[in-house]
């Protein structure tokens, strides 16, 4: 995916944007979980909805 420069939908800072695959928001790399291709908010919700048998962190 090509880099898109804009304002982050979460923190409001300019930078290279990524698109959340769940909510479609443009978020900066700091607010993006590349492992899940989700913004940190969706990744957080996903983490809560999941019930991992062993914690990652």
Evaluate whether 11 touches 22 at the Cβ level (below 8 Å).
no
Task: Read off φ and ψ for residue 19, nearest 5 degrees.
Answer: -105, 125
Position 23 contacts Zn ion (CB under 5 A): yes
Based on CB atoms, which residue is closest to Zn ion, 13 or 53?
13
Candidate residues 19, 22, 36, 47; the one interacting with Zn ion per rule CB under 5 A: 22
- Quickly list DSSP for 10-33: TT--EEEEEE-TTT--EEEGGGEE
Which residues, numbered 28-57, are part of the site for Zn ion (CB under 5 A)? 28, 30-31, 39, 42
Q: What residue ranges bind Zn ion (CB under 5 A)?
A: 8, 10-11, 20, 22-23, 28, 30-31, 39, 42
């Amino acid at each position: 995916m090509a880099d898109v420069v804009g304002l982050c939908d979460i923190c409001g800072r300019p930078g290279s944007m990524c698109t959340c695959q769940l909510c479609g928001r443009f978020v900066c790399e700091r607010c993006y979980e590349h492992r899940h291709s989700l913004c940190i908010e969706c990744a957080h919700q996903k983490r809560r909805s999941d019930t991992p048998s062993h914690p990652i962190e």
